């Protein structure tokens, strides 16, 4: 198993946008560069644990929020796509979309629409 840095980056971008922080401001707070933050958000750089902690603190989110689900098992990239899709949603929209997805999953399994 490998660490999925693209998912970490997508989560950082998601929380940064939710907090209405620019890449420039996040870079300033974390003593990094705007370019580096862009690389991390796109999964093109592997941030150190120290950098992840600084970003977590700057975004006021737990390390668990940033690091849960980051191990790549099958390489589908679903987590990254989900964060990109939800990036501009409000909490209410996110809750509605999540409930709709849960309901759809139940229907798919109930009627054996997918394998």
What backbone phi and psi angles, to 5 degrees, belong to 16? Answer: -65, -45
Write the pLDDT tens digit of every residue in 21-79: 999 999 999 999 999 999 999 999 999 999 999 999 999 999 988 887 676 555 555 55
User: Does residue 80 register a pLDDT over 60?
Assistant: no
Q: List residues bridging with 13 in a β-sheet.
A: none
Q: Are 8 and 67 in contact (CB under 8 A)?
A: yes
Three-state secondary-structure class, residue 77: coil
pLDDT of residue 88: 80
Output the six-digit token pair for 17: 């946008």
The 10 Å Cβ neighbour count of residue 34 is 14
SS3 for 9-75, per residue? HHHHHHHHHHCCCCHHHHHHHHCCCHHHHHHHHCCCCCCCHHHHHHHHHHHCCCHHHHHCCCEECCC
Q: Residue 47 has what DSSP assignment?
A: -
Write the pLDDT tens digit of every residue in 2-21: 788 888 999 999 999 999 99
User: Does residue 111 register a pLDDT over 60?
Assistant: yes
Write the pLDDT tens digit of every residue in 63-73: 988 887 676 55
* Domains in the chain, CATH or no CATH each: 2-110 (1.10.260.40)
pLDDT of residue 13: 93
Q: 95 or 17, which is more confident?
A: 17
Three-state secondary-structure class, residue 2: strand
């Amino acid at each position: 198993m490998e660490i999925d840095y693209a998912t970490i980056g997508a989560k950082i971008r998601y929380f940064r946008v939710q907090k209405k922080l620019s890449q420039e401001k996040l870079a300033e707070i974390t003593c990094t560069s705007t370019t580096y933050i862009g690389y991390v958000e796109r999964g093109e750089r592997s941030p150190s644990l120290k950098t992840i902690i600084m970003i977590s603190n700057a975004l006021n989110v737990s390390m668990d929020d940033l690091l849960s689900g980051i191990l790549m098992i099958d390489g589908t990239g679903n987590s990254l796509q989900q964060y990109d899709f939800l990036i501009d949603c409000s909490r209410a929209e996110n809750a509605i979309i999540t409930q709709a997805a849960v309901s759809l999953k139940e229907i798919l399994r109930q009627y054996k629409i997918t394998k």
